[in-house]
Structure 1
Amino acid sequence: MSWGTDQQGYGHNQNHAYGNNYGYGNEHGQQPYPAQQPYPQEPYPQQYVDYGQVDYGQVSYEQQEYAPEHVEEQVAEPDAASTDTSFTDTKETELPPKARKPADRDRYFDTLRAVALVRVVTYHTFGWAWAGMVFPSMGIMFALAGTLMAKSLERPALKVIRSRVRRLLPPFWFWGFFVIVAMMVHDWMPGWQIVFWVVPLGDPPGNAWGQQAWEILWYLRTYLWFVLLSPLLLRTFRLAPVAVLLLSLAPIVVLHNFWEPPDNRFGSGLTDLATFLFCWVLGFAHREGVLQRLKPALVVLLSLAAIGFGGWYAFTHQAETGSYDLDDIPLAQAFWSAGFVTLLMYAKAHFEIDFAGLTRYKRLDRIVTIFNARAVTLYLWHEIALILAVPLIDQFWNVPAFEKYLPLESQWFMFGIGWILIAVFILLCGWVEDVAAKKKPKLLP
């Protein structure tokens, strides 16, 4: 999902390129979920989950209960992701309130998302081709979103979709206002395609001057399409879970070998959907309890096979893209992410990993909290922060002491300045996520 040059991956156009470098350098149930101990049905604070806003007095993703309908009205129509529930049997539900104990936060998903965001910023700073192999951030983020969307769809689909769209668009509009104005100042005048700056169902237009800022919107566009398609996808998945999960890799194979999509917005969107479809459906498989029923040896074998194929294809087709960067090679990206993310999700389902010990490290736990609560803001503004870091560092050269004692030529120094500016943007712009959630704006969650 990086960008910043004119290099293009398979099926991508100037409106979206997966794998260009940045900056100074080169840049998926029939069987119910295992019974959970129920908890008091009290209104929890309305929070983000897909993009990450969660307070830690709240129960885990897998253990939350629905609030009654009158409670939903009181908390301003909470997102389903903020009221995610586990499957509980009737006997447990009928337990008296005193027999119910609140669960601790499950930090596994929170930590994965936070690490994914750090990897995104790191990749956009250094442009390391191997970064996607070490940690395929986008596949992980789509799998987490798919898990939460499957749970949310226990509520009426239209209500869920409306809520998700409402939470996504205001931060996008706020960010987009500044990008559009900046591009217009630099001789850009939008045509009818500006509608994609209102609802990003296609890649929003822009000029070359602002390309490094707006190309990241491919992720929001792909996420939005997955949200809209999820009711149908989840219904199809429940007909034959394992078969649908495996077949979700078929679209990218078809696009790669039999039909190359057009080089336009439609082609770019179709390629991205096909690339990460398995990861989204894998989220369904985790939420529906399908992964828990699979044998470990089979899961590990198939996952390693997918990783092996993805890696082999990337390294043997460098001549087509000039790099083994997965972001430039959708087929390799799809298979590598499928295998890698399957292992992460299966580890969660099979071993019940929760990273609860993270709460003992207060500062680190706080960082994970903020990253999840302000994930939209961090994602949207991080490239602008990295862009602004360059002229800011240029000014440092005018101070003799800075020139003498600071590593102004180092990308690591720009990386550090970039994170400082990201923190500033979180403080200045993160409140928009609260407004989108119909909450009282806060400086920090």
Structure 2
Amino acid sequence: MSWGSEQQGYQGYQGYQGYPGQQGYEYGQGCGHPVQPVPYEQPWQYTSEEPQAASSTIQMDPVPAGPPPPTPPSEPEPKSEPEPEPKSEPGPGPGPESKREPKPKAGGRDRYFDALRAFALVRVVAYHTFGWAWAGMVFPSMGVMFALAGSLMAKSLERPAFKVVKSRMRRLLPPFWFWGFFVVLAMLIHDWMPGWQIVFWIVPVGDPPGNQWGIQAWEILWYLRTYLWFVLMSPLLLKVFRKAPLPVLFLSLLPILVFQYAWQPPYNRFGSGLTDFATFLFCWLVGFAHREGVLQRLKPALVILASLALLAYGGWYAFAHQAEFGTYDLDEVPVAQTFWSAGFVTLLMYFKAYYNVDFAWLARFKRLDRIVTIFNGRAVTIYLWHEIALVLAVPLTDQFWKVPAFEKWLPLESQWFMFGVGWVLIWIAIPLVGWVEDVAAKKKPKLLP
């Protein structure tokens, strides 16, 4: 749980960090999620001949006047050979399979998951720029990220649990250490005096400490801590879930209610971590339900009604307790965050499971597909460095005011301008520091994935 500014409005749960910076991170995917299997692709045979002319076409020969010679019997295509689609032209196009959706590219990634993760990261950066209280209700990024990570974790646990947990930690920690080196050094220069809690900068099972000067950078680390808790607990959680999937799924909503109405976690690192764990437990388990085929077996009417009920309770709680929390922002209201995210991600994951949606059509839009690939290959980098990019965007924007032409023609006072500058800095950071994710995954370092 973060100790940052997003927590300041959180009164009922002293440790709760609702930072929608949340995510990002598959963050799971950026953290080394397993490759998604794709259906077997049938090989298509292409013929080198040009399509035969239609039988109605007149054969022009250098013969004087007279009726055209009869069409040779060998000219028509044998009926056993597949006739090319009339609209398909020879060239680099897909040919006869043009009616089929493009398959995911090599590597078998699920583009539905990838697209959701990319959008969640964009929403995180937008929230941290504009501070929109309604952003979480439009798209609860952190709930979505934890659901995606839960599904991928369940898939990974088909292998030995120890190896899976070790692999996830290896993919997460080196990018965190690299980023943390600069943050810790900057805070030390600005008079930070750490205690023994600095060990959480090595393995963030608790919120890493810091000073007020660097709070905007380190407060987002609540997500890494919560993700790490889920990774360590997943082997046990999956065993319990498999014994009674639906009862366990719905019982996962009870801890946050207990914390609200019966027992309040202590105001410390453990308490804030426990609160975040309870807040997103349902989302992680609904990822299990997707991977284990539980959602696919449910009737649409039942899932839709249950999801709408969860959304209704979460939305009602957020607006009904504005006086208590000072806002309806889900990131400040844990109970509302839990139920709203639960209903939202259940619909997303059920849509995926029941209709087998894969967003393979993204392959037709090369630039968009490329952006989604970069976002997923550098999810940890984007999440860790986006706040620093937004911080640097402020003094950088100030420099534009010194140029009269910029002052006159650019919307320097607009937050949208700062949002754009922030993304420019993020895209600079991706090739500069993103290669650390490749090293952590034991891959050859690349400027772009």
Contact 1:105 1:356 in 2 (8 A): no
Counterpart of 2:366 (choices 351, 355, 362) is 362
CA distance in 1, matches of 2:127, 2:27: 24
Q: 1:145 maps to which residue?
A: 149
Deviations 1:182-216 (A, max 9, x none): 11111001110000000000000000000010010
Question: How big is the shift at 1:9?
Answer: 1.6
Contact 2:27 2:117 in 1 (8 A): no
CA distance in 1, matches of 2:8, 2:20: 6
Question: How big is the shift at 1:311?
Answer: 0.2
Deviations 1:13-61 (A, max 9, x none): 5x7632599xxxxxxxxxxxxxxxxxxxxxxxxxx98233799xxx961
AA of the residue aligned to 2:209: P
TM-score, structure 1 as length reference: 0.82
Counterpart of 2:249 (choices 220, 245, 248) is 245
Q: 1:219 to 1:11 in 2, by over 3 A?
A: farther
Tell me which stretches of 4 or more aligned residues in structure 1 moved more than 4 Å: 10-13, 102-105
Structure 2 unaligned blocks of 5 or more:
41-105
Q: 1:347 maps to which residue?
A: 351
Q: 2:8 maps to which residue?
A: 7
Q: 2:29 maps to which residue?
A: 51
CA distance in 2, matches of 1:125, 1:441: 30
Structure 1 SS opposite 2:28: coil
AA of the residue aligned to 1:302: A
Q: 1:272 to 1:245 in 2, by over 3 A?
A: same
Question: How big is the shift at 1:10?
Answer: 4.4
CA distance in 2, matches of 1:156, 1:339: 32
Q: 1:250 to 1:180 in 2, by over 3 A?
A: same
Q: 1:12 to 1:382 in 2, by over 3 A?
A: farther
Deviations 1:212-264 (A, max 9, x none): 10010000000000000000000000000111011111111111111011111
Q: 1:172 maps to which residue?
A: 176
CA distance in 1, matches of 2:428, 2:326: 36
Counterpart of 2:213 (choices 173, 190, 209) is 209
AA of the residue aligned to 1:141: M
Contact 1:252 1:330 in 2 (8 A): yes
Question: How big is the shift at 1:8?
Answer: 3.5
1:226 equivalent to 2:230? Answer yes
CA distance in 2, matches of 1:6, 1:251: 20
CA distance in 2, matches of 1:355, 1:4: 37
Contact 2:147 2:345 in 1 (8 A): yes
Q: 2:281 maps to which residue?
A: 277
Q: 2:49 maps to which residue?
A: none
Contact 1:113 1:141 in 2 (8 A): yes
1:258 equivalent to 2:262? Answer yes
Structure 1 SS opposite 2:371: helix
CA distance in 1, matches of 2:39, 2:172: 22
Q: 1:195 maps to which residue?
A: 199
Percent identity for Structure 1 against Structure 2: 73
Structure 1 SS opposite 2:346: helix
Question: How big is the shift at 1:64?
Answer: 8.8
RMSD: 2.3
CA distance in 2, matches of 1:10, 1:17: 11
Counterpart of 1:157 (choices 147, 157, 161) is 161
Structure 1 unaligned blocks of 5 or more:
22-47, 66-101
Contact 2:9 2:327 in 1 (8 A): no
Structure 2 SS opposite 1:172: helix
1:329 equivalent to 2:333? Answer yes
TM-score, structure 2 as length reference: 0.81
Q: 1:61 maps to which residue?
A: 36
CA distance in 2, matches of 1:8, 1:389: 25
Contact 2:206 2:273 in 1 (8 A): yes
AA of the residue aligned to 2:17: A
Q: 1:17 maps to which residue?
A: 17
Deviations 1:273-327 (A, max 9, x none): 0000000000000000000111111100010000000000000100111110000
Larger Cα Rg: Structure 1 or Structure 2? Answer: 2
AA of the residue aligned to 2:363: T
Contact 1:377 1:433 in 2 (8 A): yes
Q: 1:390 to 1:345 in 2, by over 3 A?
A: same
Q: 1:155 to 1:19 in 2, by over 3 A?
A: closer
CA distance in 2, matches of 1:213, 1:54: 23
AA of the residue aligned to 1:9: Y
Q: 1:373 maps to which residue?
A: 377
CA distance in 1, matches of 2:172, 2:392: 25
Superposed counterparts of 1:394-433, under 5 Å: 394-433=398-437
Contact 1:149 1:227 in 2 (8 A): yes
